[in-house]
A and B are shown apart, each in its own frame.
Chain A
Amino acid sequence: MSIDKVISDIRICRSLWENMGRSSKDKRDIYYRLAKEEGWRARSAFKLLQLDEEFNLFKGVRRAVDLCAAPGSWSQVLSRKLRGTEENSEDVKIVAVDLQAMAPLPGVTQIQGDITKITTAQEIIKHFEGQPADLVVCDGAPDVTGLHDVDEYIQAQLLLAALNITTHVLKPGGTFVAKIFRGKDVTLLYSQLKVFFSGVTCAKPRSSRNSSIEAFVVCENYSPPEGYIPNMSNPLLDHSYDVDFNQLEGPNRIIVPFLACGDLSAFDSDRTYPLQLDPSKEYRYTPPIQPPIRPPYQQACHLRKNNLLSKEDSPTVSFGGAFSALHLSANQESDTAAAAAAAAPQLDSCEMNEEEAAEQEVQ
């Protein structure tokens, strides 16, 4: 078998594999597929839409802030819903904040900044011409490390940072929506949020998977404690159990009401659907709207694709000096073919990793 043949075979296998892998994701996750078909940048758009169905989040909102906005699906929802319904859509102001840049959206102003910086809060207010925001949303989540206690902690810190900047920009009576992980110390976060909002509900949109611990806190009627002065220089620390009488055990733990959101007739995010949803419409694969922007593993994947990752040196030695010359001279071609063959599975697995990562991103 010639090297060319080997390489061309590898290419064919790869393209088929990609197609299969992609449609398989479409089957497993109906909202992923719908998001692509409806032009949302990520499936999480449906989560905000379903939260709005339940809580009427967008009613009368003129100024909205989307924290940790990239890739921008929630900003997309804000843009379509707020500007679409208002008579004079020019009045509506939407600000999207993220460390990363993202593709522009109509009516959405991007601020590339850190939500823990006072300057970012000032910039938001400046954009609203000194007026506070009516609604602050945050769908940010850290890259999970796999160690659940660490992930939960980081997510809690992200939420508290979002809460902190929200206290700078939200009008009294305003609404704050953020992602929360329902884990070990979630009750501590609830008690912290209860200090600032009179209504705190844990909501789970139907588009968020049953198997995921993700949920959203919808915090209504911003009413900070009397005399509270927003302060960015000291981070809001988590509450701890003894300080706030929020018991580790027993009935004194603060658990906020739970509400499942979204119409029951909506698609079930846990169900696997056939590709042919509608008999009259043929299934066609839709590529993702927006691939992940500069993921951390980009360089590593590039190296891996080109077989440039460092590897342990081969332990093979020639068996006696007499044979070594022969071995070296005769072996060139087959070694190249072998290297090409060896590279093949890695190419695929690298693809897969990227796609998996894209999946995470999209979720």
Chain B
Amino acid sequence: MSVSECEMADRKSAAVMESLMLVAPVTALEFLEEEYLLAGEGPILSVYSLQTLLINCTSLSVLQNQRIHGIHLDPWQQERGATAAAPKEEELFVSPWQQSGRVRSVVLAVFGGKAVRVVGLKETGCGGPSLEALGPVIELQDWVCDVRWLRARAPLLAVALAHNAVLLLEAGKGWSLALCSCQEGCLLYSALLLGQRWDDMVIVGGTVFNQLVIWRPGEVGEDGRDRIEGLQMEVGRTAQVEKRLSGHSGVIFSLAYLPKHGWLASASDDRSVRLWGVGALGGVAGCGVPAPPCLRVLYGHQARVFSVRLSPGRVFSAGEDGACLQWGWDSGRVERSLKGHIAGGVRALALSGGGRAVEVACDWGGRRRDQALEGMQVHLRAGRGKVHSVLWAGQDGVRAYLLASGTAGQVFRWLLEGALYSCGRDGCVRELRVGAGDRLEVLRVERACRGMEWVERVLILDPEEGGEEQGTGEGCQMVVLGFQSVFFVVWDPVRRERLLSVPCGGGHRSWSYCPPSGPHRAGGALVFVKQGAVLATQVPQDPQGAVSWGLKVGLHGRGMGCVCRLGWVGPAGQGERWEILAAGGEDTSLSVLALQPLSGALRVLSVITDHISSVRALAVGLRGKMRIDGQKHGCSQTDGHTVTSLSSLLISAGGRAQLQCYRLLVGWGSQLSSPFCQVIQVASHRLDEQWERRRNRHKIVKMDPETRYMSLAVLHDGPEWILLAVGCSDGAVRVFSVSEVDGSFQLLWESFYHQRCVLSVAPCCLKDPQSNRKLFMFSGATDGRVAVWDMSTITAWRASPTAAPTWNGTCSPCLTFTVHQSGVNSLAVWEGHGDGQTGWMTVASGGDDGQLSVVNIRVQFHQQLVEGSTMCVELQSQSTVLLAHAAPLTALRHLGPSLLVSASPDQRVCLWSLCSSAPHHHSPGPHQQGPASASMAPPHISRTPPLTSMALPYTSRACSSHTWPTQRAWRCGLGLGVKAEPG
């Protein structure tokens, strides 16, 4: 947030929001020789050290509200500094480092959206590198496709613009010196600038019409080449297309050029990579050979190809399918397929000079790792039924485990941790533990891998030799071995990727697997019997082998739909606490995340994959008994520190009318100084369970709608059970109860009153003059109507032992009103009105029409029945901000007595204060804080559809010395932003 905004806000003594942390997809990558890897994550430039195994050294927010799409190193910095002794013209590779005394520095041009910025990376003798902006953000009129440093005395940049034009930019001051447009002014999806000097540089553009066009922007003829040094602006020149390469049937997403061989590679929407023999481009050679042939057409990706890079003899491509393919130039075949990214696809690819291909950034960064539960106690127990074989598989004083294989292809495993895994031919891995009374309790059943129906074994790999190399101090890692179709598969359930896949012919084989050693888990050797022969497969681990490091944990690849905060764990008052969030995504998975806003660290604690469709809503129950004895939610003394752990019920709802409930035990491991999470499945529910049980269902067309659950709200959070309100896409509002004791959901009530997709639900509790609790439920639908339901009697009814299976309390709402033109996306309801009078409710709603509306509702309680009811619910006043956002208002939360926060896909989060001078006046409307202050454009490029949810802590206290109550809002979308708002 800029200084001016802060001042304005202070003057108004208003609340200010500040962005604390942003997790965004990686969209740009570049190697800095063999030493560092530079990554663009949203507007943030991060530097990872390659020598110390990809530890994030430093980060800097570079582009304000634009996402970084590319990074280019200045190779001529050295030459520019030293006036004399210029290197030879032909020299192609120059070190970008400049040494001055003990300080080494590199200059980078970072671009994205319509902005370019020059950034310096400095490395002093001691300590890591540091980043500093060397100039302001240069805002341009058009989208930037590529930039290139020019070889000149002044720091000049050539900038390729999306309307097929090239701009000459003085990088220090941001002056535009010359602009040359191509006569063909069509839109470019990608561009590549080549050459060292403006006069003879060449641009290759990938057009919206699926072609590559090659032309020269700087051809000036007689003027001579010193014109540049004169720094005169020149405009309006146009150039002709000199070469045109056709063949792709989709737009071009990425281009790469290898000067040594004169190859140009293009990656396209048509899922192919094409190689063209263009010859020398740029410099005296101009636009290369007269008719460039298409040398190779490489089809291998299962989806669009987003990025391509070339090295001598090889082509690397990466795409939406999350794979990075290494192609042999001669054979035109896939030499190696690198997979390591979850859904979402790979956006950026970088090659280091030595041809060592690393990495591949996807929508959500790198790979993820999990924390194992910390050792507690030794349990060694015999299995049930006949034990076929028992095997000790390792004993080193730290970890020992026992394998016992029983009937029905099961393998039991006992660990020091007391957790126990079993697997079978139903494709599931069960996590069990020994509960009270020496009974086995199933904690979690997890489908190991889609399509892997036959799970043979769970293998715990020893922690890596250098456990600290990830900087996470991780524990042991679990892999699942099994057969999928005709393949033997080694599956990593946390990273959700196949580590090894061998076409051995399928099950019924005698086999043995030897896990690999070393810092990476891919490969290993498999020996199996097939057709009477003993076959072995071993992935070579030669220096050319693919070695992968996790750079950054991956989150939901296809965008998050909902997020909710569970609480925090960790030592109190040390600034070391970890906020625990749960997030659900379109990739049908649910993840438990821990983040430390102060350090910016993010861990994925657990990934739950029980949903069969996208996860749309989350709710949390904080009360309730823990089924398993042991550590309770609260504080414990460890090493003299008070450490907080947490236990809560997480309920998730999503597509295909699916509800899931989990008990999450999040603790803090003081040895590893990091949080860990145990997930226990409590209950699961689908509306159409009868249908699921039908045997011949694949032969009939199912007539009822496949309902999506749109929103969830906890109506009652009791110790025995929780009441949940669910907004459904089939037009119903449903109320479920979920009980941890029974381990089941129960549908108590439903109403099809809305007859439209119900988008939001919210509860509100009041007390009547007799101090009886009155429970109201609010529901909003796509027609902009909100209905108010009196649910007061449902809790008492649910508590009574003789309750009927369904509740018949309310059949019509006690009040309905229209607040929006179209959908009511978000509702926030609280008791009170202005100064907190009783008998009032305030309803804030955010709509698809971008409107924010606040409605005051008065509840009058009568002594006798009036019109068949003891209370009267009336709409008293309504006020709206018509154009609160330029886009749909997707999330709204009530922060304090008179403070609201709203979020929208227009990339803005706004704070609103409710001004009401007198509580009985009818216009306590929302007013935006300050003239322009509180509305802020987050430095955040995560646009929409998924920008739908915001989670707020209940009240998290201030960090250490400050006495401000701090509240944080989490926005989700294709990125995760954390905002702190010291009030």
Contact = CB atoms under 8 A, between A and B. Distances in A.
Interface of A: 16-17, 19-20, 23-24, 27-28, 99, 114, 116, 142-143, 145-149, 151-154, 157, 182-184, 186-187, 190, 204, 206, 210-213, 233-235, 237-238, 240, 242, 247-253, 255, 257-260, 264, 268-276, 283, 285, 294, 296-300, 303-304, 308-320, 323-324, 326-327, 330-331, 334-335, 338, 341-342, 345, 353
Interface string B463-485: 00000000000000000000001
B730 A148 contact: no
B503 A316 contact: yes
A145 B253 contact: yes
11 contacts: A152-B943, A183-B907, A270-B756, A270-B782, A272-B729, A274-B705, A294-B249, A296-B269, A300-B271, A327-B531, A342-B503
A186 B905 CA distance: 10
Contact of A210 (B306, B487, B848): B848
A213 B888 CA distance: 7
Nearest to A268: B756
B905 A182 contact: yes
B849 interface: yes
B68 to A, nearest CB: 10
Nearest first, the 3 A-B pairs at minimum CB distance are A250-B932, A296-B250, A148-B943
B911 to A, nearest CB: 12
Contact of A258 (B325, B502, B755, B883): B883
Given A211-B945, A273-B730, A326-B533, 7 more contacts: A210-B757, A242-B139, A249-B5, A274-B703, A310-B327, A313-B335, A318-B533
Given A187-B886, A210-B825, A319 B535 contact: yes
Contact of B485 (A147, A157, A187, A341): A341
A341 B486 CA distance: 8
A19 B163 contact: no
B314 to A, nearest CB: 14
B333 A310 contact: yes
A108 to B, nearest CB: 24
A157 B162 contact: yes
B543 interface: no
Contacts of B79: none
A270 B782 CA distance: 8
Most-contacted residue by chain B among A234, A296, A324 (CB, 10 A): A296
Contacts, number: 296
A256 B645 CA distance: 49
B417 interface: no
A182 B906 contact: yes
Contacts of B299: 299-300, 303, 308-310
Contacts of B322: none
A297 B784 CA distance: 40
A309 B303 CA distance: 11
Given A272-B705, A274-B704, A247 B533 contact: no
Interface in B853-871: none
Given A27-B705, A304-B302, A323-B534, A270 B505 contact: no
A146 B932 contact: no
A271 B849 CA distance: 18
Contacts of A275: 701-705
A13 B784 CA distance: 43
B508 to A, nearest CB: 12
A315 B542 CA distance: 14
Contacts of B907: 183-184
A17 B699 CA distance: 9
B337 interface: yes
B783 A20 contact: no
Contacts of A353: 303
A255 B94 CA distance: 50
B805 interface: no
Interface in B303-336: 303-304, 306, 320, 325, 327, 332-336
A27 B268 contact: no
Most-contacted residue by chain B among A28, A147, A154, A259 (CB, 10 A): A147
Contacts of B337: 311-312
Given A240-B141, A258-B849, A24 B699 contact: no
A309 B302 contact: yes
Interface stretch (B257-265, B371-379, B933-941): B933-941
A210 B822 contact: yes
Given A147-B347, A310-B298, A240 B139 contact: yes
Contact of B701 (A19, A308, A338): A19
Nearest to A337: B486
Contacts of B303: 353
B757 A249 contact: no
A323 B529 CA distance: 11
Given A271-B756, A334-B531, A253 B886 contact: yes
B848 A248 contact: no
Contacts of B823: 210, 270
A304 to B, nearest CB: 7
A257 B821 CA distance: 12
B888 A312 contact: no
A242 B142 CA distance: 14
A35 B795 CA distance: 45
A240 B113 CA distance: 12
B849 A153 contact: no
A336 B506 CA distance: 13
A259 B821 contact: yes
B272 A300 contact: yes
A283 B701 contact: yes
A108 B113 CA distance: 39
B533 A16 contact: no
Contacts of B698: 16-17, 20
Interface string B142-185: 11000000000000000000110000000000000000000001
Contact of B821 (A99, A147, A251, A260): A260
A286 B298 CA distance: 37
Nearest to B345: A146
B250 A255 contact: no
Contacts of B253: 145
A147 B27 contact: yes
A153 B705 contact: no
B707 A272 contact: yes
A269 B756 CA distance: 9
A19 B700 CA distance: 9
B835 interface: no
A18 to B, nearest CB: 12
B497 interface: no
A34 to B, nearest CB: 15
Nearest to A339: B486
Contacts of B874: none
A319 B531 CA distance: 13
A311 B332 CA distance: 11
A57 to B, nearest CB: 19
A353 B301 CA distance: 13
B319 to A, nearest CB: 11
A299 B187 contact: no
A182 B888 contact: yes
B924 to A, nearest CB: 20
Contacts of A296: 210, 249-251, 268-271
B457 to A, nearest CB: 20
Nearest to B974: A148
A238 B788 CA distance: 45
B300 A314 contact: no
B277 to A, nearest CB: 20
B189 to A, nearest CB: 8
A2 to B, nearest CB: 16
Contacts of A211: 945
B383 interface: no
A249 B908 contact: yes
Nearest to A258: B849
Nearest to B248: A296
Contacts of B707: 272
Contacts of A314: 502-503
Nearest to A344: B485
B944 interface: yes
